[in-house]
Amino acid sequence: MVSCRNAHPPVRQQSGRGTLTVCLVGTPDTFGVAMNKSLALFAVLAACAPAVEESQKNDEPTPETDCAPVDRATPSDTALDVADASNAFAVDMYNTVAEGAEGDENLFFSPFSISSALGMTLAGAEGETERQMRAVFHIGDDETAHHQGYGELSQAVFAKPTDCDSTVKMANRLFGQTGYPWLDTFLDVTALDYEAELEERDFAGNPDGERIYINQWVAEQTEDHIQDLLPEGVIDASTRLVLANAIYFNADWAHPFEASATQESTFTLRDGSEVTTPIMYQTLITRSTFVDGLMAVELDYEGGTQSMVLVMPENADEDFAPSSAFSAQQLVAIEDSLADMGEVSLGLPRFDFTRRTDLKDILEEMGMVDAFSEGIADFSGMADQATTGESLFISGAFHKAFIAVDEAGTEAAAATAVGVGATSAPSIQFVANRPFAFYIRDNATGTVLFMGRVHNPTAD
């Protein structure tokens, strides 16, 4: 398991927050008999928009702030096990996606959003389908404990500090065919542990109208950053269920950058070519580390509840090979060694991009095969198949994610603990003018909410 916990206390947020993940169930006829209904799972990370203001030098030990941390109950060991499982999946997926990416393609996704949507799907899986899903998502034999732990973890993660402009929120929703006989055992898990209410929709009578309706729900949950998630044709009269999870994140840096310090600078791509892009600069007191040829720097967001960790090779001449960008061991080592405060001279490019990911091939490559196989998938824990005469499978899975990191559009703010205990250690140079990876985590539980890489900050 991968643990990324800090010593900060945990947080919780109310139901109805977020980014998006969805699952559809439909009914293609085979040999004239209604057999497998396509459970089309669409996983979407709505918007991660950590909007950043700039400041050239910020090394005061305790900056003033009106952003007060929230008292959070300590999460149970079960909830922390769920965080570790989600982080292990995050590393696996990052490497799988990176190995299949082309050239200087930027990557961004929310492992927590995907885990949430597929966690709801897992609640209805049985047999070998269930076993494969548990293996991919690093879930042990006690599935009930996992679902309950997920509920506790969500309560810990999605509370925000008071008087803060930052936003971190999540929403789950089931859109089900009107009158379909969903099993109470399935709906109880999704309602109690995932806070996902069932909303009945008429897929059979108005499939495209319902597609538009769900897309509008997604847009609302993601502050209009995710538009037209479901393309035309993916919902039809055979659709039975859409499971959606949405996560939205927008926060100020604890130590903002000064706009006047931003400079047009050279960024070197993996092939050695160069592009010119705005890079923000500042010197601050924060945590950094060197692990297995990688260097990492932690940047707190306002309130100290979440942080971004930047990672790139220590040697500027070393190729940032996608498959070696992260391993579970490296992630744990980075987190374990991000302890001592010191002065860091930081350069970070402005960047923003949207990524749509087809998860079906990726999840199949990771070992989740049966769930997508018509006639083989076993989701008999979702609905009474004796009544419907239908079996269900996942026909597709998609994830869409947006991130923006810049100095515009937010209020200048300062944060809590950064700078406390400053040492006389020499300044560390971390200038991200070449490919780098990053992840955004909840500090109290160590849950990785978002993960990505920037190979070209000028690419959309």
Within a domain: 311: yes
Task: Give me the number of domains the chain comprises.
Answer: 2
pLDDT at 270 over 80: yes
Q: Which residues contact 231 (CB under 8 A, 6 or more apart)?
A: none
The pLDDT of residue 68 is 63
Looking at the structure, do residues 180 and 281 belong to the same domain, yes or no? no
Span 55-76, pLDDT tens digits: 344 443 334 456 666 666 678 9
Closest alpha carbon to 419 in 283, 310, 296, 295: 283
Looking at the structure, do residues 240 and 140 belong to the same domain, yes or no? yes
155 with 12: CB under 8 angstroms?
yes
Token readout for 408 is: 């515009």
Within a domain: 64: no
Looking at the structure, do residues 345 and 358 belong to the same domain, yes or no? no
Q: Count of residues for the chain?
A: 460
| Cα separation, 378 vs 56, whole angstroms | 57
Within a domain: 460: no
Looking at the structure, do residues 430 and 326 belong to the same domain, yes or no? yes
Within a domain: 3: no
Looking at the structure, do residues 137 and 267 belong to the same domain, yes or no? no
Looking at the structure, do residues 151 and 224 belong to the same domain, yes or no? yes
Average pLDDT rounded to a whole number, residues 302-331:
75
Span 203-229, pLDDT tens digits: 899 999 998 998 898 888 888 888 887
Looking at the structure, do residues 236 and 268 belong to the same domain, yes or no? no
Looking at the structure, do residues 188 and 272 belong to the same domain, yes or no? no
Looking at the structure, do residues 243 and 263 belong to the same domain, yes or no? no
Residue showing tokens 């001449």: 317
Within a domain: 43: yes
Give the structural domain span for 306.
259-350+414-454
| Cα separation, 383 vs 192, whole angstroms | 18
Token readout for 299 is: 């940047």
Domain containing 337 — which CATH number? 2.30.39.10
Looking at the structure, do residues 305 and 174 belong to the same domain, yes or no? no
Within a domain: 169: yes
When pLDDT is cut at 50, 70 and 90, the band that residue 288 belongs to is: very high
Within a domain: 8: no
Looking at the structure, do residues 85 and 189 belong to the same domain, yes or no? yes
Mean pLDDT of the chain: 77
| Cα separation, 396 vs 361, whole angstroms | 9
**Is residue 424 classed exposed, middle or buried when 0-12, 13-18 and 19+ CB atoms within 10 A define those classes?**
exposed
Span 7-52, pLDDT tens digits: 333 332 322 222 233 444 333 332 222 333 444 333 333 323 333 3
325 with 437: CB under 8 angstroms?
yes
Span 222-250, pLDDT tens digits: 888 888 878 888 888 888 888 877 888 88
The pLDDT of residue 168 is 78
Domain containing 86 — which CATH number? 3.30.497.10
Looking at the structure, do residues 77 and 210 belong to the same domain, yes or no? yes
Within a domain: 62: no
